[in-house]
């Protein structure tokens, strides 16, 4: 069932695919998407899109992989429905960390980096809270030339 249409603001199918992250698909899928957008013959593939209700029991801001249909001038993500609660819970543990990482990048607040790392299930299982904060500080210092200035 098709739930949402992703409008595109360009007339070039190649640019549309690139805007949607198409550069990460293997070449055959990439070419099939372009072919579908040029010919209008639908092509179905797994795509990563903003959730927007496609999987109702995951956050709206999450990026989810769902079935998508490429056809002339658009790519339409399909609703997947709710996940079984145990699977949604497992996904949310990672999504929460990802959303906090994005928040850190947008706000440039170092505390959000700490929050993301502290909530990461693997990191929390291996390190103490103090060690996690120290690790974040060390990584920021080591890679500071590649990062924005954090408060």
Q: Does residue 17 sit in the same domain as residue 72?
A: yes
Q: What's the domain range around 113?
A: 85-146
User: Measuring CA to CA, how many Å separate 57 from each of 73, 85, 92, 111, 147?
Assistant: 30, 8, 9, 27, 33
pLDDT tens digit string along 2-40?
Answer: 333 444 444 444 444 444 544 444 667 878 888 999 999
Dihedral pair phi/psi, residue 56, rounded to 5°: -60, -25
Domain boundary at 29, 45, 77, which? 77
Q: Does residue 18 sit in the same domain as residue 64?
A: yes
110 occurs within a structural domain: yes
pLDDT tens digit string along 71-111?
Answer: 998 999 999 999 999 999 999 999 999 999 999 999 999 99
Q: Does residue 20 sit in the same domain as residue 55?
A: yes
Specify the DSSP element, H or E, that contains 66: strand 63-71
Q: How many domains does the chain have?
A: 2
Q: Report pTM.
A: 0.71
30 occurs within a structural domain: yes
**In this predicted structure, what is the pLDDT of residue 120?**
93
2 occurs within a structural domain: no
Bridge partner list, 48 = 65
Domain boundary at 55, 77, 99, which? 77
Residue from 54, 50, 53 nearest 62 by CA: 50
Q: Does residue 67 sit in the same domain as residue 97?
A: no
Q: Does residue 105 sit in the same domain as residue 72?
A: no
How many whole angstroms separate alpha carbon 68 and alpha carbon 140? 37
Contact (CB, 8 A) for 46 and 67: yes
């Amino acid at each position: 069932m098709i739930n949402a249409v992703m409008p595109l603001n360009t007339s070039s199918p190649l640019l549309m695919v690139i805007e949607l992250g198409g550069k990460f698909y293997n070449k055959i899928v990439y070419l099939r998407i372009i072919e579908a957008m040029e010919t209008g013959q639908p092509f179905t593939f797994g795509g990563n899109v903003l959730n927007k209700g496609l999987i109702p029991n995951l956050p709206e801001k999450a990026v989810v992989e769902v079935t998508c249909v490429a056809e002339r001038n658009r790519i339409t993500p399909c609703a997947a429905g709710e996940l079984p609660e145990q699977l949604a819970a497992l996904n949310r543990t990672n999504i929460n960390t990802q959303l906090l990482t994005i928040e850190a990048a947008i706000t440039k607040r170092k505390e959000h980096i700490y929050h993301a790392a502290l909530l990461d299930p693997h990191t929390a299982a291996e390190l103490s809270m103090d060690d996690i904060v120290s690790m974040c500080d060390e990584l920021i210092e080591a890679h500071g030339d590649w990062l924005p200035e954090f408060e």
